[in-house]
Amino acid sequence: MNKDVIIACDFASAEDCLAFLDKFKDVEHKPFLKIGMELYYAAGPEIVKELKKRGFKIFLDLKLHDIPNTVKKAMKVLSNLDVDMVNVHAAGTIEMMRAALEGLTREDGTRPLLIAVTQLTSTSEKAMREQLLIDASINDTIAKYAQNAKEAGLDGVVCSPLEAALVKEACGPDFKAITPGIRFADSKADDQVRITDPARAREIGSDFIVVGRPITAAADPVAAYNRCVSEFLGK
Ligand code: C5P
């Protein structure tokens, strides 16, 4: 799958999401969408089916983390929804990630991309040390979790755009970096900390940028999306 801009559809209901997407009817480069826990728990598999019917690619961001057998079975269900990308927590271990991959792979051998969350960008080194009893640095943890994901056969990891180079160094150029934390050079950061703009994210090595509020809260979301596409993909 080629590099792309993914819009984070962080809406509380299917109605809000569909009303937002109606604005994109005439957009030349059809958006790739991320559906997270909020919208999925509110609107269920139906919203995924509806968006697939409308021709959107879907990254279902549910961050699974459970015993291997449960994750395997859950992934089989998600694979049948025909989504394009799903994820797990690398903290669930290599065995859990292998089980996820197995559950996701369809009888004909096809499957959605499977990526892992390393350390959440909201987790500080201090919290890792004091609460999780992890003494390694955050960068070493991210590199190790990314290597575990690669060993399990996954396609890439979610990380800050500033960590994309670190991930590529640890796992090779083909291992994908999916990066939230994107802001235009001239816009506000909101609650994001480790951010960069679309063009710089591409330079550092992002394969997919995940962009929420800079598009969803923009006065003109389509113009903001087109700007992301143009800065990130050079289109
Ligand atoms: O609005 P904003 O561009 O900050 O949205 C970023 C999206 O990426 C949100 O859906 C957020 O939950 C998600 N995300 C993130 N940082 C992570 C993992 C996911 O911002 N480490």
CATH number at residue 214: 3.20.20.70
Amino acid at 156: G
CA distance 21 to 81: 20
Name which residue sits closest to atom 5 of ligand 1, judged by CA.
212
Ligand 1 atom closest to residue 36's alpha carbon, by position in its atom list: 10
Q: What pLDDT is attached to residue 235?
A: 75
Name which residue sits closest to atom 12 of ligand 1, judged by CA.
36
Residue (of 77, 61, 69) closest to 114 by Cα position: 61
Q: What pLDDT is attached to residue 192?
A: 77
Q: What pLDDT is attached to residue 185?
A: 92
Q: What pLDDT is attached to residue 191?
A: 82
CA distance 73 to 10: 26
Instruction: List phi, psi (to 5°) of 165.
Output: -65, -40
Residue 4's DSSP bridge partners are 208
Q: What pLDDT is attached to residue 206?
A: 97
Instruction: List phi, psi (to 5°) of 179.
Output: -125, 110
- Residues with catalytic roles: 63
Give pLDDT tens digits along the chain (235 positions): 799 999 999 999 999 999 999 999 999 889 999 999 999 999 999 999 999 999 999 999 999 999 999 999 999 999 999 999 999 999 999 999 999 999 999 999 999 999 999 988 888 899 999 999 999 999 999 999 999 999 999 999 999 999 999 999 999 999 999 999 999 999 888 887 878 999 999 999 999 999 999 999 999 999 999 999 999 998 7
Q: What is the tally of structural domains in the chain? A: 1
Token pair in block for residue 180:
């939230």
Q: What pLDDT is attached to residue 193?
A: 80
User: What residues flank ligand 1, with Cβ below 6 Å?
Assistant: 8, 10, 36, 120-121, 158, 180-181, 190, 192, 210-214
Residue (of 95, 52, 59) closest to 103 by Cα position: 95
What's the CA angle centered on 201, arms 145 and 29, to 5 degrees?
Answer: 110
**DSSP character string of 83-105:** -SEEEEEGGG-HHHHHHHHHHH-
What is residue 4's DSSP assignment?
E
If one counts every other C-beta atom within 10 angstroms of the C-beta of residue 63, the result is 16
Q: Which residues of 91-119 are buried (b: 16+ CB within 10 A; e: fewer)?
A: bbebebbbbbbebbbeeeeebbbbbbbbb
What is residue 153's DSSP assignment?
T
What is residue 3's DSSP assignment?
-
Indicate the top mutation candidate among 40, 210, 232 to test ligand 1's pocket, ranked by most ligand atoms within 8 A of CB.
Answer: 210
Name which residue sits closest to atom 10 of ligand 1, judged by CA.
8
Place of tokens 């509020």: 213
Indicate the top mutation candidate among 10, 34, 119, 122 to test ligand 1's pocket, ranked by most ligand atoms within 8 A of CB.
Answer: 10
C-alpha of residue 33 to centroid of ligand 1, in Å? 13
Ligand 1 atom closest to residue 191's alpha carbon, by position in its atom list: 4
If one counts every other C-beta atom within 10 angstroms of the C-beta of residue 226, the result is 17
C-alpha of residue 119 to centroid of ligand 1, in Å? 13
* DSSP three-state, residue 187: coil
Tell me which residue range forms the domain holding 21. Answer: 4-233
C-alpha of residue 1 to centroid of ligand 1, in Å? 21
C-alpha of residue 36 to centroid of ligand 1, in Å? 9
CB-based contact 133:184 (threshold 8 Å)? no
